[in-house]
Structure 1
Amino acid sequence: MMERPLDLDAVRAFVHIADLDSFTRAAEALQTTQAAVSLKLKRLEERLGCRLVERTPRYVQLSPQGAAFLEPARELLAGHERALAVFATTRQRLTIGLSDHVAGPDLPALISRMNAQDPQLLIEIRIASSGDLLQSFDRRELDTVIVRLHAGRSDGEVIAEERFGWFAAPDWQKRSDEPLPLATMAEPCGVRAMAGRLLDEAGLPWRESFVGGGVAAVTAAVMAGLGVAALAPRMLPFGAVEVGARLGLPELPRLPVLLHSRVRQERPRQALAALAAAFRGAVRG
């Protein structure tokens, strides 16, 4: 029988390391330093008498003991949150706006990270264009928004920069006698405006071949062979190919992702830090 109880902060650090595959991103999620996270893990390993995480210069991997401990660690943290919830009179609500060009297929994993950070936090998420979300944020209808850089604004915290490219279906071929067919999101969309501006500056004729209400619709049009779209690689289904170099299209810049927030309470801030760290991992991955 173990005499000393486990340090919950150390257990939480271990779970973050396992979920995010990184000491750096675990530190970001916990709003502390990498050295502090490493120290917490070291003390937990000493307490358990085994190594939980195998570290190399290139990757982080759970040891067999770490893999076996992960689910019990999650249950321990969840039980702690349930115990605290007995004394909570109301659940805190956090309303978040995510740009459609930001959320993408990683949204379930991002929500899971936030829930793991604080299961008792009531999270409300809205998906829309960056411009619409910023207007809602300015009207104080949203606590936080994560959006692409928007023309005319210099506020917000840059949490990541993401590569964009020109993508098409693998068997798609452009006809030499027609303008470039472009699949885009409906206005207002900063990525759409950027793509059109760069094509115009390069003197390349183009036309809209498809206008979708979200990234999922645009990627479906791309895979259906309707044309080319400016998208982040992680948004594309397997099989889409980058065609910018082959078609002589202008290089797309890396686009920043910004966090705008007025949240001051500690628990929602911790959940947002976990979300930002998970998103950095999704973009870099």
Structure 2
Amino acid sequence: MVELGSFTRAAEAMGTTQAAISMKLKRLEERLGCRLVERTPRYVEISASGAAFLEPARRLLEAHERAAGVFSRQRQRLAIGISDHVAGPELPALIARMNALDPELVIEIRIGSSAELLQRFDRRELDTVIVRFHAGRDDGEVVAEEQLGWFAAPGWQHRSDEPLPIATMAEPCGVRSLAAQRLDAAGLSWTEIFVGGGVTAVSAAVMAGLGIAALAPRMLPPDAVNVGAKLGLPDLPRLPVLLHTRVKDGRPREALSALSAAFRSSVRS
């Protein structure tokens, strides 16, 4: 009422009636034992007692709003999709780094193929995706580049009279298609020995001695062996990892920047 200059405007601002405002003020004055507002038919103004009461009352209301805000604050959410060929064993540490930066941020992580995640990103089901390079897309930011290799378990031997046994991801998978194209172009005979629903399963099949796989080295245990040169297999390229995001600023962007920096570090190491 003091800021707006009338009971009528105060009632409109608070979504109530002038009578309700007057009744509440009257009860407060009776409780305090003094008049807070001087009323005449022509004007309404704050009294000397009201002026003395106003500032402490404002501080009390601000403290109440801060206390209530602890429970009523809406947490921000960040939905991230990460390609299965990108999300390596360091993912828990990367998530922990994001959480340490902003414990109030709710982080959602979805793991899938690059193609699937890009489709969900385009449907606005995900705020951000971190995926392998996908043909036809130029809207991403290169986070890192990673060398792929042909890996096998220690001591694994290929029988030269048999097709090369390959462990791979289920379709659609860009790395699977790339590996098949390179082997076919080199005129090498190969066969699928294992099809996994994720890189963890493919890595397990490799380390179980079933065959070889085209993977980034960090996706396998340290004792996995790159057998590409030994078997005369075609070279595999360095594939970029790209960040696609609609997040531009605020706490989610800060957390995303921390994730990108940590991911670059993990790929380099």
TM-score range, shorter chain: 0.7 to 0.9
Structure 2, unmatched stretches of 5+, are 1-66
70, 92, 102: which is aligned to 2:86?
102
The whole-number CA distance in structure 2 between the counterparts of 1:88 and 1:168 is 54
| Structure 1 residue 88, shift from structure 2 partner | 6.3
- Measured in 2, the distance between the counterparts of 1:275 and 1:193 equals 28
Q: Mind listing any 5+ residue stretches in structure 1 that lack a counterpart? A: 1-82
Distance 1:91 1:200 in 2: 51
Q: Which residue does the alignment assign to 1:256?
A: 240
RMSD: 1.4
Residue 150 in 1 paired to residue 129 in 2? no
* Matched length: 202
Query: By how many angstroms is 1:91 displaced?
Result: 0.2
Q: Distance in 2 between matches of 1:270 and 1:88?
A: 23
Q: Separation in 2 of the partners of 1:118 and 1:260?
A: 21
- The match for 2:266 is 282
Name the amino acid aligned to 1:163. Q
Q: Which residue of 2 aligns with 1:174?
A: 158
Deviation at 1:87, TM superposition (A): 7.6
Partner of 1:185: 169
Give 3-state SS (helix, strand or coil) of 2:134's partner: coil
Partner residue of 2:144 out of 160, 166, 174: 160
**Is the partner of 2:240 in helix, strand or coil?**
strand
Q: Deviations over 1:203-232 (max 9, x none)?
A: 111111100000100000001111010111
* CA deviation map 1:24-80 (0-9, x unaligned): xxxxxxxxxxxxxxxxxxxxxxxxxxxxxxxxxxxxxxxxxxxxxxxxxxxxxxxxx
Which residue of 2 is the match for residue 241 of structure 1? Answer: 225
**Cα distance between partner residues in 2 of 1:152 and 1:209:** 31
**85-94 or 254-263, larger mean C-alpha shift:** 85-94
- Residues 1:207 and 2:187 are matched in the alignment: no
Shift of 1:172: 0.9
- Does residue 139 (structure 1) correspond to residue 119 (structure 2)? The answer is no
CA displacement 1:71-119 (0-9 Å, x = unmatched): xxxxxxxxxxxx9x83861000000000011011011011011111111
Q: For each residue in 1:127-165, what CA deviation from the matched residue of structure 2 results, as whole angstroms up to 9, or x when unmatched? A: 001010000001110000000001222221101001111
Structure 1 residue runs of 4+, over 2 Å off?
Answer: 85-88
TM-score by length of 2: 0.73
Q: What CA distance in whole angstroms lies between the structure 2 residues aligned with 1:88 and 1:258?
A: 36
Q: Distance in 1 between matches of 2:137 and 2:184?
A: 24
Q: How does 1:1-285 map to 2 (within 5 A)?
A: 86=70, 89-285=73-269
Identity in percent: 75
**Cα distance between partner residues in 2 of 1:163 and 1:113:** 25
Distance 1:87 1:117 in 2: 21
Instruction: Mark the structure with the bigger radius of gyration.
Output: 2
**Cα distance in 2 for residues equivalent to 1:153 and 1:99:** 15
Local SS of the residue matching 2:200: helix
Q: Aligned equivalents of 1:250 and 1:262: distance in 2?
A: 38
Residues 1:158 and 1:88: Cα distance change in structure 2 (over 3 Å): farther
Q: Deviations over 1:182-208 (max 9, x none)?
A: 100111111111111111111111111
Q: Per the alignment, in what secondary structure is the counterpart of residue 101 of structure 1?
A: coil
Q: In 1, distance between residues paired with 2:174 and 2:184? A: 15
The whole-number CA distance in structure 2 between the counterparts of 1:87 and 1:157 is 37
1:105 match: secondary structure: coil
Whole-Å separation in 1 of the counterparts to 2:72 and 2:97? 22
* Structure 1 Cα separation of the partners of residues 72 and 194 of structure 2: 49
